[in-house]
A and B are shown apart, each in its own frame.
Chain A
Amino acid sequence: MRTVPPRSLLDVDDLSPGEIVSVLDRAVAFRDRLPPRDLLAGVPVLNLFFEASTRTATSFTLAEQRVGADVITFAPGASSLGKGETIADTALTLHGIGVRVIVVRHPESGFARRLADAFDGHVVNAGDGTHAHPTQALLDLMTLRQEFDRFGGLHVAIVGDILHSRVARSNIVGMRALGIEVTLVGPPTLLPREFAGDGVRVERDLDAVLGRVDAVMMLRIQRERIDTGLLPSLDDYTRRYQLNRTRLRSLRGDAVILHPGPYNRGIELTDDVLDDPRSRYVAQVRNGVFVRMSVLDLLVNGAPVPA
């Protein structure tokens, strides 16, 4: 029986836990053997990136080409929409031209939702402000499952600038849906208490957390946080929150290290971490392409018919 596909992927919770697993299964199948390039044959897909992106834009483009979509890439200036033409008018225009899928990145939280509410087609959120980045969370989940072959009972620490991280938010949503215990670690200005919730703890002491987790995800720290008075200095931050040679010794031998990239060597992590056999950065970016192929397939074609 075919299930009704979700029209858009704005955050991970647009998928049920069962659908997440099914998206990952299909991504694994694509990784093991590339599908014929006809899953989205002739479907016009627009990559609409209002914010600079190297990895995500490249990954989406490759994924779209591998499923045979007609790929259009447009990178408007960050401010060209929202001034003159309304979101609704833009959505109408793009649909009229023939676009059926929009992969969108925008610096403002909620942009993907506003676009999806106005667009008569599929929207894939490739990152909206500090809100959500669901395909990144899915590729992180794929990497974790590849490692542990399960989700329930896992414990993951996410470390750094949680407040400004769409990757952290989407991972919290996805991990909780799958029964993963989450511990958030960071200073109070970048990790307010309000983030604590069911199955989500807020901790300040990274050293106290590292030995207890199956995976640690290190988030990028931006210099801008010093200019805006949220951090005193990078040195002060790294003293407490940097993953380095000393702290690697606290991490269990079977634990893994994740980073959404791009990383800042010498800030949230040191070269030792990237060279460590527990680092999974390359697996993450590799999985990203297959997860995105799988998401496009699910949104446009619906769930696969069981064999």
Chain B
Amino acid sequence: MKTLIRGGRLVDPVQGIDAQRDVLIENGFVSRIGEHLDADGARVVDAANAVVAPGFIDMHVHLREPGQTYKETIATGTAAAAAGGFTAVACMPNTEPALDAVSIVSEVVRRADAAGLARVYPIGAITKGRAGRELAPYHLLAEAGCVAFSDDGSTPRDARVLRNAARYAADLPCVFVSHCEDPDLKGDAVMNEGSASMRLGLEGAPGLAEDVIVARDLLIAADSGKAWHIAHVSTATSLDLIRWARARGVRVTCEVTPHHLFFLDDRFDDYRADSKVNPPLRGAHDRAALRAAVLDGTIDAFATDHAPHGVDEKAQLLSVAPVGFSGLEIALGAYALALPALSLARYVELLSVNPARILGVPGGTLAAGSPGDVTVFADRPWTVDARLFLSKGKNTPFDGMLLPRRALATIVEGAVVFEHGCVLPREEAPA
């Protein structure tokens, strides 16, 4: 099977290429990059006036399977990924049951292979049941396909448990991913603590709730030598702590979401839960620090924290409505909206090169011999209509907004899984 991506502007920072090039994929791998390559029976993707990049990887999504398939399934989540321009996603373990055993992880891998619309990299739990007490079997989970470990959605409250987990798993390449929120400082917060929460009479989570756990986890990373990744950074102080740790040689990376880069904590006057998320949308000072940290290199990766929920669930009272919302299908445009000055090379680093490096998975470049995973995108404004999402989660604070950029085609292992606005069933390679 051959696929030719023709006439696009190839942006491949690893190879130092930013020029018009055709990309030829054969048998799932990049075989040639060059000008005016011969189609010769290949499936042709027209990339004229578009950018061709190594496949984008969203290293923080919730696919909800097993256990909450009314919110999302691996099939609908990977369809959303394909439509959003992602060739791979790393799925968080806060499923029911949690991804803390080989049998569960193997089933996720099997179903992802069957759906076939994007690569799925499971992230295993750090503790059994994400309960923060007993360690999960890291080596077995890694053999079953886990590329990282996290108790995402919460954090082990007991620092001794986390320290022992990090020490035990230190010689595995799988990074630890921290969702940093102190449950006591956070309390029953539904939004950020600040003048808006005071005015509205809503309980707010202070930035401090994030900062103290970031500090703790960085110190445990230093102590254990474990490579660490801080998920969805939302405060200026977290970024300062990460810079401090790096200066001391701690192996730490971090990610930022589109919603924290774009929105502020001023979206709760209607008391609806559409913008309720953990960590919460913050104030202007924190948002400015996040944007600056993307540009100065402190932030390594873009990740959506795609967290689909049922529409009725999000329509509940603010106190009981679940946190999070869909992100896969707005991400490419939302990042461009929040950071119009970001170079294309840096954009590709944040969406492909660095996520691949952090997770230790193939991709991040289209050099010959690399996986045939490609994202084709262009600056073509479009208006978000969440009702049309392929994800089962039809909520996003970006709903109704005009976004400046979108995916045009998504290619996984040489198979075109998204083009002309449609997700395509993956063609079987001829025998």
Binding site for B on A (CB under 8 A): 82, 86-88, 108-111, 113-114, 117, 128-132, 163, 166, 169, 192, 194-195, 197
Show 20 residue pairs from A and B whose CB-CB distance is below 8 angstroms, ordered by the A residue. A82-B316, A82-B320, A86-B312, A87-B315, A108-B317, A109-B201, A109-B318, A110-B270, A110-B271, A113-B270, A113-B271, A114-B317, A130-B201, A131-B200, A163-B198, A166-B201, A169-B201, A192-B198, A194-B195, A195-B198
Indicate whether B246 reaches chain A with its CB closer than 8 angstroms.
no
Interface contact B202-A110, CB-CB below 8 Å: yes
Specify which chain B residues have a CB less than 8 angstroms from the CB of A130 in the assembled complex. Answer: 201
Q: Name the residue on A nearest B312 (C-beta).
A: A86
B200, B202, B315: the one contacting A86 at CB < 8 Å is B315
Specify which chain A residues have a CB less than 8 angstroms from the CB of B319 in the assembled complex. Answer: 108
Indicate whether B194 reaches chain A with its CB closer than 8 angstroms.
yes
* Closest Cβ–Cβ distance, residue B264 to chain A (whole Å): 15
Q: Name the residue on B nearest A82 (C-beta).
A: B317
Against A, the Cβ 8 Å flags (1 = close, 0 = not) of B182-220 are 000000000000110011111000000000000000000
Indicate whether B251 reaches chain A with its CB closer than 8 angstroms.
no
- Prevailing SS type, chain B contact patch: loop
Specify which chain A residues have a CB less than 8 angstroms from the CB of B202 in the assembled complex. Answer: 109-110, 129, 131
Within 8 A of A (CB), among B77-130: none
Interface contact B312-A108, CB-CB below 8 Å: no
Specify which chain B residues have a CB less than 8 angstroms from the CB of A110 in the assembled complex. Answer: 200-202, 268, 270-271, 317-318
Specify which chain B residues have a CB less than 8 angstroms from the CB of A111 in the assembled complex. Answer: 271, 317
Specify which chain B residues have a CB less than 8 angstroms from the CB of A82 in the assembled complex. Answer: 316-317, 320
Indicate whether B272 reaches chain A with its CB closer than 8 angstroms.
yes
Given A82-B316, A88-B315, also A109-B198 (CB < 8 A): no
Q: Name the residue on A nearest B194 (C-beta).
A: A194
Given A109-B271, A114-B272, also A129-B201 (CB < 8 A): yes
What 7 pairs across the A-B complex have the smallest Cβ distances?
A: A110-B271, A131-B201, A130-B201, A109-B201, A194-B195, A194-B198, A82-B317
Interface contact B317-A87, CB-CB below 8 Å: yes
For A87, A108, A113, A132, the residue with the greatest tally of chain B CB atoms inside 10 Å of its CB is A108
* Closest Cβ–Cβ distance, residue B196 to chain A (whole Å): 9
Q: Name the residue on A nearest B196 (C-beta).
A: A194
Interface contact A108-B318, CB-CB below 8 Å: yes
Specify which chain B residues have a CB less than 8 angstroms from the CB of A88 in the assembled complex. Answer: 315
Q: Name the residue on A nearest B197 (C-beta).
A: A194
Interface contact A109-B194, CB-CB below 8 Å: no
CA distance A163 to B187 in the complex (A): 15
Interface contact B271-A114, CB-CB below 8 Å: yes
Q: Name the residue on A nearest B198 (C-beta).
A: A194
Interface contact B270-A86, CB-CB below 8 Å: no
Specify which chain A residues have a CB less than 8 angstroms from the CB of B315 in the assembled complex. Answer: 86-88
CA distance A130 to B272 in the complex (A): 16
Interface contact A169-B318, CB-CB below 8 Å: no
Q: Name the residue on B nearest A117 (C-beta).
A: B270
* Closest Cβ–Cβ distance, residue B209 to chain A (whole Å): 15
* Closest Cβ–Cβ distance, residue B316 to chain A (whole Å): 6
CA distance A114 to B318 in the complex (A): 10
Specify which chain B residues have a CB less than 8 angstroms from the CB of A129 in the assembled complex. Answer: 201-202
CA distance A241 to B317 in the complex (A): 35
For B198, B268, B272, B320, the residue with the greatest tally of chain A CB atoms inside 10 Å of its CB is B198
Within 8 A of A (CB), among B282-321: 312, 315-320
Specify which chain A residues have a CB less than 8 angstroms from the CB of B316 in the assembled complex. Answer: 82, 86
